[in-house]
Structure 1
Amino acid sequence: MNWISPLRLHRAGILSMNRRNVDYIGRYNDRSSYPLVDNKLKTKLLAAEYEVQTPKLLQVVRQQHEISHFRELVEELDGFAIKPAKGSGGKGITVITRREEDRYIKASGASVSLGFLERHLSNILAGLYSLGGTPDVAIVEDLVQPSASLAKYSFQGVPDIRIVVFQGYPVMAMLRLATTDSDGKANLHQGAVGVGLDIGTGHSLNAVQFNRTITLHPDTGLPLSDLRIDDWNHMLVMASRCYEATGLGYMGVDLVVDAKAGPLLLELNARPGLAIQMANGRGLLTRLRTIEKLKRPHFTPEGRVSYAMEMFGQ
């Protein structure tokens, strides 16, 4: 791997992890707000207050005895998602796409039994996937059916959109596409594809996998230069509203586009990663400093989005 000097990275506007932690997360994120985003159930309830739509909540499992209600619930369902409320990095999330008699088919294609799902719920309650191993609650949500225009690009998993929001302004975005390497999950560190998106239009700019530039999806073979996200302005406004909802000055907002419900909030992240810079082929630092220098900040999500689209659009 070629060594790149810190000075060169700085000149390119690349935000380093240390600077992110100290100058942005540490400075702009009040720790009292962290529980709002580290707990998916709290995030869902909070989002509803600010008219940010999320996947339909089917059940909350807080105690072992409530797992029996889950057994009754899934008899009526073909697809659903189980998530630990305090899980991180996608750990503990199980997505069931369909049912075949007494077997439940995961997004990866593997089949599991009802007993497996019940044990998984028990593990979530025990804190197996939670931050710090603390006891947790399990969320059962309606299955997201991704829009056909995006689903065709992703391998098995649901494609999602990460938007970095600073002081309420959407400053950078990328589309994450699952691959065979990522086991159907939209996690860049596991091998998902990151597609940088133009803040001004929602068009694709650049695509990477394992930090290498690519032009075609490794599994579907589709070109990644033709992508365009529908309802782009609406998605940016949703992301911007999360600033008022949480008070977090620097965060990642993860959205999906459901075929019927449209854009939905998946989760919020108070410590968003920096791979989005690689996907976009440009650094965050210049954009963050542009917002910091604003003498007259915009007080509505719509105003902040209009400014960001004009200032950061390609």
Structure 2
Amino acid sequence: MDWISPRALTRLGMLNMNRRNVDYISRYNDRTSYPLVDNKLKTKLVVAEYGVKTPKLLQVVRQQHEIPHFREMAEDLTGFAIKPAKGSGGKGITVITGRDGDEFIKASGARVPAAYLERHLSNILAGLYSLAGTPDVAIVENLVESVPGLAKYSHQGVPDIRIIIFQGYPVMAMLRLATTASDGKANLHQGAVGVGLDIGTGKSLNSVQFNRPITLHPDTGLALENIDIADWEEMLTMASRCYEATGLGYMGVDLVVDINEGPLLLELNARPGLAIQMANGRGLVPRLRAIEGLKRHHFTPEQRARFAMDAFSSQQ
């Protein structure tokens, strides 16, 4: 995207990082709630109480002496994901998609022995991937298998959907698609594709990679203009429930659509990035102000999702 002056960005309603930090994160996010979203294990436990499904938990490894039990647990598994509980930006996540004899097959196609995965677990416990380098916990989850309608757009990685929730209302959303550049991860800073989604319908709006407009996925070659997310209202409602679960007024909710389980929560983010605005081709500020200007907030997640679909639809 060509350079745009700060004044022009303001006119477009673009939220910048300083304003996000001061006016929204600091103002609406109680720091006592951060441990709930900065720890994937705590997130899984707290959202379950509010009817939000997450990938099935297979094992929790807290101490080095528990690592040998991983090999026993994984004996009959063909696919799973190993994650650091306090990791960020996808760091330290290893996805296994199959088995070949005694070797495990990673999402990239590389084959690794069980000893490789055990060393990875040891590194996680040592805090190699944690937010502050402090000792961590490793969790092993069921492998997420994306529905074919979305999986075909992504390259060597599960596509996910980021929804910004403000005071319990979904205000903006995008689909994130892995690429060769992003090494199979749905991380826009590493080169994943961001596809803006119409809050009213779940249909694609604009697409960007490295903040530049694109129309085709760089690896799959598929057009990105006619993507339509099924069960959209259910996903918005699910994301809205995370407000009650955490009390955070401004956060990113990352969802996936599993072929067997349907919509699942991957993780929450108390400091969501701002590239979602580029993917949508519009700024967050007008929508945030609209919520702040409500005289009376809607009580249930269902009501908040429906309000957002009506108020922030691209058809408006």
Same fold by TM-score, threshold 0.5 exceeded?
yes
Aligned to 1:281: 281
CA offsets 1:92-136 (integer angstroms, 9 cap, x no match): 000000011111111111111111100000000000000110100
Amino acid at match of 2:177: L
Amino acid at match of 2:142: D
Amino acid at match of 1:287: R
Aligned equivalents of 1:110, 1:185: Cα separation in 2 = 16
Moved more, 285-294 or 1-10: 1-10
Aligned equivalents of 1:73, 1:110: Cα separation in 2 = 21
User: Offset of 1:6 from its aligned partner?
Assistant: 1.8
Aligned equivalents of 1:210, 1:132: Cα separation in 2 = 27
Unpaired segments of 5 or more residues in structure 2?
none
Amino acid at match of 1:309: M
Aligned equivalents of 2:184, 2:3: Cα separation in 1 = 32
Partner SS state of residue 58, structure 2 = strand
Q: How many aligned residue pairs are there? A: 314
Once the two structures are superposed, the pairs formed by residues 205-220 of structure 1 within 5 Å of their partners are 205-220=205-220
Partner SS state of residue 58, structure 1 = strand
Aligned equivalents of 2:77, 2:232: Cα separation in 1 = 31
Aligned equivalents of 1:274, 1:113: Cα separation in 2 = 39
User: Offset of 1:3 from its aligned partner?
Assistant: 3.9
Aligned to 2:54: 54
Aligned equivalents of 1:181, 1:273: Cα separation in 2 = 19
Give the CA RMSD over aligned residues: 0.8
Aligned to 1:299: 299
Aligned to 2:243: 243
Give yes or no for the alignment of 1:146 onto 2:146: yes
Aligned to 2:107: 107
Partner SS state of residue 70, structure 1 = helix
Aligned equivalents of 1:216, 1:9: Cα separation in 2 = 26
Once the two structures are superposed, the pairs formed by residues 252-291 of structure 1 within 5 Å of their partners are 252-291=252-291
Aligned to 1:41: 41
Once the two structures are superposed, the pairs formed by residues 120-131 of structure 1 within 5 Å of their partners are 120-131=120-131
Once the two structures are superposed, the pairs formed by residues 69-108 of structure 1 within 5 Å of their partners are 69-108=69-108
Partner SS state of residue 99, structure 1 = strand
Moved more, 109-118 or 161-170: 109-118
Aligned equivalents of 1:210, 1:108: Cα separation in 2 = 22
Aligned to 1:159: 159
Aligned equivalents of 2:133, 2:190: Cα separation in 1 = 22
Amino acid at match of 1:78: T
Aligned to 2:67: 67
CA offsets 1:177-197 (integer angstroms, 9 cap, x no match): 001111111011111100000
Aligned equivalents of 1:3, 1:172: Cα separation in 2 = 23
Give yes or no for the alignment of 1:221 onto 2:224: no
Aligned equivalents of 2:2, 2:72: Cα separation in 1 = 57
Partner SS state of residue 235, structure 1 = helix
User: Offset of 1:4 from its aligned partner?
Assistant: 2.4
User: Offset of 1:5 from its aligned partner?
Assistant: 2.2
User: Offset of 1:175 from its aligned partner?
Assistant: 0.2
Aligned equivalents of 2:48, 2:85: Cα separation in 1 = 16
Aligned equivalents of 1:144, 1:129: Cα separation in 2 = 22
Aligned equivalents of 2:221, 2:275: Cα separation in 1 = 23
Partner SS state of residue 294, structure 2 = coil
Aligned equivalents of 1:65, 1:303: Cα separation in 2 = 48
User: Offset of 1:60 from its aligned partner?
Assistant: 0.2
TM-score by length of 1: 0.99
TM-score by length of 2: 0.98
Partner SS state of residue 75, structure 1 = helix
Aligned equivalents of 2:42, 2:88: Cα separation in 1 = 14
Partner SS state of residue 76, structure 2 = coil
CA offsets 1:142-169 (integer angstroms, 9 cap, x no match): 0001001000010010000000000000
List, as ranges, runs of 4+ consecutive aligned residues in structure 1 with deviation greater than 3 Å.
none
CA offsets 1:217-251 (integer angstroms, 9 cap, x no match): 11111110010000100000000000000000000
Partner SS state of residue 13, structure 1 = coil
Amino acid at match of 1:71: R
Aligned equivalents of 2:22, 2:63: Cα separation in 1 = 39
Aligned equivalents of 2:2, 2:166: Cα separation in 1 = 31
User: Offset of 1:272 from its aligned partner?
Assistant: 0.1
User: Offset of 1:2 from its aligned partner?
Assistant: 4.7
Amino acid at match of 2:131: L
Amino acid at match of 2:79: G
Amino acid at match of 2:223: P
Aligned equivalents of 1:5, 1:179: Cα separation in 2 = 30
State the identity as a percent.
Answer: 79
Aligned equivalents of 2:58, 2:103: Cα separation in 1 = 20
Amino acid at match of 1:252: G
